Structure 1
Amino acid sequence: MSATRSPSSTLSSRPQAEQAGQPTPRSRSRVLWFSCVAHALHDGYTDMIYVLLPMWQAEFGLSYGALALLRGIYGGTMASLQLPAGWLAQRFGHKAVLASGTLLAAIGYAAAGASGSLVGLCLALALSGSGSSTQHPLASGAVSRAYGLDARRARNALGIYNFSGDLGKAALPAAVSLLVAFMPWRHALWVIAALGCVVAAALALWMPSIAPGNAPAKGPASGQDRKRRETSGTSATGNNARTGFNLLFAIGVLDTAVRMGLLMFLPFLLTAKGASTPVIGTALALVFIGGAAGKFACGWLGARVGVIGTVLATEGCTAVLIVAVMLCPLVPALVLLPLLGVMLNGTSSVLYGTVPELAPADHTGMGTEKAFALFYTGTIGAGAIAPVIYGFLGDHIGVQGATLAAALTALAIYPLAIALRAHLVPGKP
C-alpha cells in the first residue's frame, strides 16, 4: 500500500539543520572548498611578487631597498585593511565582499601589467593588496561559522583551509616562472589576473552564504558546548574570553615573528656551511613543503590532543630544531629542514582554529569576522615588522646570535600558552 506524501511530511523528512537554517553537510563542504580556492589564489598573489622582483629591478632600475618597499606596499595594505574588510562584510555580506576583493586583487595585477612607471606599479600593488585584505578574515570566518562551535570539525576544516594557502604559495609563483619563459612578464600578469577574475565570479555565483554569528550546529555536542560556556564563565561576551583572545593574539604575533626571523637568516646560515645558491633554493623548498604539511597535520593533531599541548610541542621543537640547524653540518641540517618547516607552520593551524571559540559576540553577529580580521592584522603585521627587528639585531650580534634570538622567541610563547589554558572551554580539545 502506498500513499502520496503530503507537503508537511515531505518537509518533516528534510534534514533538521536545513529546516532550522543551519548549514547542511553539503553547504559546509562547499563553503570550505570555495574558501580554500580563495585562500590559494590570494596567498599565491602575495608570494608571486618574489618571482617578479628581479624583473622589476631590471626594468625600473631599482635598488634592493626599493624592491623591499614594493613588497611592503602589498603586504602593508593587506594587513591594514583586514578590519575594514570585516566592517564592509557587516553591511554587504561576506560573500559579496570576498568576491569583490578577489576581483579587485586581480584588477590590481592587471594594472601592474599595464603600468609604465614605478608610481603606477606601486599604485597597482596597493590596489591588489587592498583586495587581498578581504580573504583571510572573511574566508576563515565563513569556514568557522559553517562548522559552528564543533571545535574538532572546525579545527580540521581550518587546517585544510590553511593548507590550501601553502598550495597557492607554491603553485602561482611556479606558474608565473613558467609563463615568463614564454611571454613578457606583463602578459604573464594578465593571465594570472584573468584567473583571479574567474575565481571571483565562481565565489559570487556558487559559494553558499552562511548566516552571521557564532551559531553552533544543532545536536547534543553543541548543547554541551553551550552549557560549558555558561558554567565556566567563558562566554564570548565576557572579560575572560577577551583576555583569552588577547593571549591568543600575542601567541600568533610571536609565532609569526619566529618564522620570519628564521627564514630571513636561513640562507646566510647555510652559506656559512658551504651551501651553493641552488642548494639554498632547495633548502627553502624543503622548509615550505614541511610547512604545508605542518598546517594540515597540526590542525588534525590539535583537534585530538588539544590546543595547548600542540602549541607547546611545536614551539619547543621549533626552538630545538633551530639550534640544531645552526650547529649541524650542511647535510644533516638539510635533513632537518622539512621537520623544522612542519613545526614552524604547524602552530598557526591550531591558533586559527581557536579564534572562533574566543571571538567576542556583538549585536551584528559578525564577531568571528572581526576576531579573524584583528588576528590576521597582527600576524601579517608581525610578518612585515619582525624581519626588520631581527635584521637590526643581526647587524649588532651576528647571524647566529639573531637566529638564536628567534629560537628564544619561540620559548617565550610557553608562559602565554599556559595562561591561555584557563580561558579555553573546559572539556574541549
Structure 2
Amino acid sequence: MSVSAETGTTRPDRARSTRTLTVTGLNHALHDGYTDVIYVLLPVWQAEFALSYGLLALLRGLYAGAMAGLQIPVGRIAERIDGKIILIAGTALSALGYAFAGFSGGVIGLGLALALSGAGSSTQHPIASAAVSRAYGTAARGPLGVYNFSGDLGKAAIPALTSILLVIMSWRHTLLVLAFAGLLVAVCIALWMPSVGKGAEHKATSASRGASTGGGFRWLLAIGILDTAVRMGFLTFLPFLLRDKGASLPTNGLALALVFIGGAAGKFTCGWLGERVGTLRTVLITEGGTAALIAAVLALPLAPAIVLLPLLGVMLNGTSSVLYGTVPELTPAHQTERAFALFYTGTIGSGAIAPVLYGLLGDALGPTLATAATALTALAICPLAVALARHLADDQATASP
C-alpha cells in the first residue's frame, strides 16, 4: 500500500516535470534558432535593400539589444503574472515579428520587426529557466543542462532549414514559414506546459533558501561573465590561428563545427556532472581544461590541434550548464525569474563586448598573445569558483568528511 501511495504521488510530479522540460526545451530551440538565423539572412537583405555592413550589424543589434535589454523587466513582471502566460505571449510576439519582417517593404520596417521579435525572445531565458528550476527543485541541475543543450539544437537546425527554404522560395515566404512554426510552439506551450505560477506565490518559501546565500550570486554572475568572455574571445581568433597554421577555408569551417559539436555535448553532460561532484570541482575541471587546451592548440601543429577541438568545445561550453543550474540555489524562490534575467543579461552582454576588447588586444599584441589572454582569463575564474563554493550547499556537502 505504501508503495502504491508513493507511486501515485510521485508519478504526476514526474510527468509534470518532464512536460515542463520538453516544452521549454522546444521553446529554447525555437528562440535560439530565431536568434542565429539572422546570420543566414543578412546577405539576402544586403542584396535586397543594398545595405552597408554597418546597417546589417545594426539589424542584428536591434534583435539582440531588445532581447538582452528586456530580460530584467520580464523577470520582474513574472513576479506578478504566471510565467506560462508570459512565455506564450513572448513566443507569439517573436513569431509575429518574423511575420512582419516578411511583409516589410523597407529596411526601417524590417528593423522594427526584428526589434519586436527580439522583445518577444526576451521572455524565454528567464521564464523557462525558472520553470525548469521549480519543476525539478533540488534536482534541477541536470535538467537545466538539458534545457541549455536544447538551444544548441535550434541553432543548428533552424538556420540549416532556412538555408534549404531559401533555395526553393523567397526570403519573405521563408520568414512566414518560420513565423508559423513559432506560433505552433506558442500553441504547444498553451496546451501542454504546466503552470509556472507567479514569483510572488513562492515568497513564503524564500527565506530558508535565500537566507544562506549571502553574496554568492555576485560571484556566480562574475564567473558567468568571464566564462562567456573566454568562449567568445577564443572563437574570435580561432579561424586566424588555424589559418596561420595552414588551414584552408573548408578546414576552418570543419574546425568550428567540431568546437560547436563538443560545446553541445559539454552543455548536455556538465549539468549532470555538477550535480554529482559539485559546482566547484566541475568549474575547476572545465576552466582548467579550457586553459590547458587553448595552450595546446596554440602550440601544436594543425592536425593535432584540430583533433583537440571537440574536447576544447566541451570545456568551453560545459561551465555554462553548471552555472545555470546553480542560479536557483543562490536565489530566493520568489525572485528566480529576476535572477535568471540578470544572469542571462550579464552573459549576453559579455558575449557582445568581449570580442571587441579581445580584438583590440589582438590589434596591439597579435592573435597568439590575445588568445593566450583568454586562457589566462579562464584560470582567473578558478579563485572566483573557490569563493563561490562557500555559498553552495552541494560543495559544502562534498567537502564534508
Decide: shared fold, TM above 0.5. Answer: yes
Residue identity in the other structure for 1:381: G
> What SS does the aligned partner of 1:275 have?
coil
1:249 to 202, 217, 221: 221
- Deviation of the 1:280 alpha carbon: 1.4
> What SS does the aligned partner of 2:86 have?
helix
2:281 to 290, 309, 315: 309
> What SS does the aligned partner of 2:377 have?
helix
1:386 paired to 2:354? yes
Partner in structure 2 of residue 174 of structure 1: 160
1:373 paired to 2:329? no
1:156 to 128, 142, 145: 142
Partner in structure 2 of residue 296 of structure 1: 268
Alpha carbons 2:75, 2:339 under 8 Å: kept:
no
Partner in structure 1 of residue 186 of structure 2: 200
Residue identity in the other structure for 2:162: V
1:56-71 alignment, distance < 5 Å:
56-71=45-60
Larger gyration radius, structure 1 or structure 2:
1
Q: Aligned partners of 2:360, 2:162: CA distance in 1, in Å?
A: 33
1:15-54 alignment, distance < 5 Å:
15-16=8-9, 24-54=13-43
Partner in structure 2 of residue 328 of structure 1: 300
Q: Aligned partners of 1:190, 1:201: CA distance in 2, in Å?
A: 17
Alpha carbons 1:253, 1:382 under 8 Å: kept:
yes
Alpha carbons 2:221, 2:343 under 8 Å: kept:
yes
Alpha carbons 1:236, 1:242 under 8 Å: kept:
no
1:259 paired to 2:262? no
- Deviation of the 1:13 alpha carbon: 8.6
> Residue 289 and residue 119 in structure 1: after superposition, are their counterparts in 2 closer, same or farther (change >3 A)?
same
Partner in structure 2 of residue 281 of structure 1: 253
Alpha carbons 2:81, 2:197 under 8 Å: kept:
no
- Deviation of the 1:15 alpha carbon: 3.8
Alpha carbons 2:79, 2:200 under 8 Å: kept:
no
Provide the alpha-carbon RMSD of the alignment.
Answer: 2.2
Give the number of equivalent residue pairs: 392
Partner in structure 2 of residue 219 of structure 1: none
Residue identity in the other structure for 1:405: A
Partner in structure 2 of residue 427 of structure 1: 397
1:339 to 311, 315, 323: 311
Q: Aligned partners of 1:13, 1:260: CA distance in 2, in Å?
A: 47
Q: Aligned partners of 1:269, 1:95: CA distance in 2, in Å?
A: 45
User: Once structures 1 and 2 are overlaid, which stretch shifts more, 390-399 or 188-197?
Assistant: 390-399
- Deviation of the 1:43 alpha carbon: 0.7
Residue identity in the other structure for 2:188: A
Alpha carbons 1:76, 1:384 under 8 Å: kept:
no
> What SS does the aligned partner of 1:181 have?
helix
> Residue 399 and residue 27 in structure 1: after superposition, are their counterparts in 2 closer, same or farther (change >3 A)?
same
1:99-178 alignment, distance < 5 Å:
99-148=88-137, 150=138, 153-178=139-164
Runs of 4+ that moved beyond 6 A: none
Partner in structure 2 of residue 398 of structure 1: 366
Q: Aligned partners of 2:34, 2:269: CA distance in 1, in Å?
A: 24
Q: Mind listing any 5+ residue stretches in structure 2 that lack a counterpart?
A: none
Partner in structure 2 of residue 76 of structure 1: 65
User: Once structures 1 and 2 are overlaid, which stretch shifts more, 411-420 or 71-80?
Assistant: 71-80
- Deviation of the 1:354 alpha carbon: 0.5
Alpha carbons 2:81, 2:198 under 8 Å: kept:
no
Q: Aligned partners of 2:257, 2:6: CA distance in 1, in Å?
A: 51
Q: Aligned partners of 1:422, 1:39: CA distance in 2, in Å?
A: 32
> What SS does the aligned partner of 2:168 have?
coil
> What SS does the aligned partner of 1:427 have?
helix
> What SS does the aligned partner of 2:80 have?
helix
The structure that is helix-richer by fraction is 2
Alpha carbons 2:87, 2:128 under 8 Å: kept:
yes
> Residue 385 and residue 13 in structure 1: after superposition, are their counterparts in 2 closer, same or farther (change >3 A)?
closer
Q: Aligned partners of 2:10, 2:311: CA distance in 1, in Å?
A: 41
Q: Aligned partners of 2:45, 2:309: CA distance in 1, in Å?
A: 31
- Deviation of the 1:270 alpha carbon: 1.5
Q: Aligned partners of 2:243, 2:200: CA distance in 1, in Å?
A: 49
1:399-414 alignment, distance < 5 Å:
399-414=367-382
- Deviation of the 1:60 alpha carbon: 2.3
Q: Aligned residues: percent identity? A: 64
Partner in structure 2 of residue 183 of structure 1: 169
TM-score by length of 1: 0.87
- Deviation of the 1:159 alpha carbon: 1.1
